[in-house]
């Protein structure tokens, strides 16, 4: 019957904490970014990834994987960032299928100011609750988790060159 079952065994506690904490923190951080900079948390993450990428640009599909969105999700997200002038579309000479999202100067500047807000928030809600060694441990543990159905795929920076 499994009626009285629905077990909430000890091992699941961390899972539950994980769910709840994520929901609460990202909600707050997203609200902060929205209020102060009119950016989503995902918008911010996209700008951040672009800023770290070679030439400040990435293939849309790789970007999607980084922020764990679908192809269509990235299209719409970038739509907004393009409209705001933070990124622009570039095409690839070697492969007409791919188009890049490239960070503009305006976007880089925006990221700089949004980063202040965001880093403060992350620090307050996340980092400050742990010691240095705890953060290291946490990073190691969380790093084992899958990132897509096909698991981790940390580097895919061979676009079409």
Q: What is the 3-state secondary structure (H, E, C) of 94-112?
A: CCCCCEEEEECHHHHHHHH
Q: Tell me the β-bridge partners of 59.
A: 100
Rounded CA separation 56/90 (Å): 11
Annotate each residue in 35-74 with x if it binds its own copies (CB under 8 A) or - if it does not, as one string. ----------x--x--xx-------------xxx------
Here the tokens at position 43 are 């918008």
Which residue's CB is nearer to DNA, number 76 or number 109? 76
Residues lying near DNA in the complex (CB under 7 A): 27, 31, 40, 42-43, 59-61, 68-78, 80, 89, 95-100
Residue 51 has a CB neighbour count (10 Å cut-off) of 14
Cβ atoms of residues 48 and 56 within 8 Å? no
Site string for its own copies, 88-117 (x = CB under 8 A): --------------------xx-xxx-xx-
Least distance in Å: CB of 113 to its own copies? 7
Out of its own copies, DNA, none, what residue 120 binds, judged by CB under 5 to 8 A for its kind, is none
What is the nearest approach in angstroms of its own copies to the Cβ of residue 9? 9
């Amino acid at each position: 019957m499994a009626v009285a079952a629905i077990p909430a065994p000890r091992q699941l506690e961390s899972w539950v904490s994980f769910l709840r904490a994520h929901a609460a923190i990202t909600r707050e951080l997203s609200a902060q970014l929205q209020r102060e900079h009119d950016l989503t948390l995902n918008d911010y993450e996209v700008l951040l990834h672009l800023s770290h990428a070679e030439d400040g640009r990435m293939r849309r599909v790789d970007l999607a994987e980084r922020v764990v969105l679908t192809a269509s999700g990235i299209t719409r997200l970038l739509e907004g960032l393009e409209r705001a002038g933070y990124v622009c579309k570039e095409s690839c000479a070697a492969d007409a299928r791919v188009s890049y999202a490239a960070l503009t100067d305006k976007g880089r500047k925006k990221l700089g100011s949004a980063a202040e807000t965001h880093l403060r928030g992350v620090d307050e809600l996340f980092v400050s609750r742990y010691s240095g060694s705890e953060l290291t441990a946490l990073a190691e543990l969380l790093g084992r988790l899958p990132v897509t159905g096909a698991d981790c795929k940390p580097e895919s920076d061979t676009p079409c060159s």
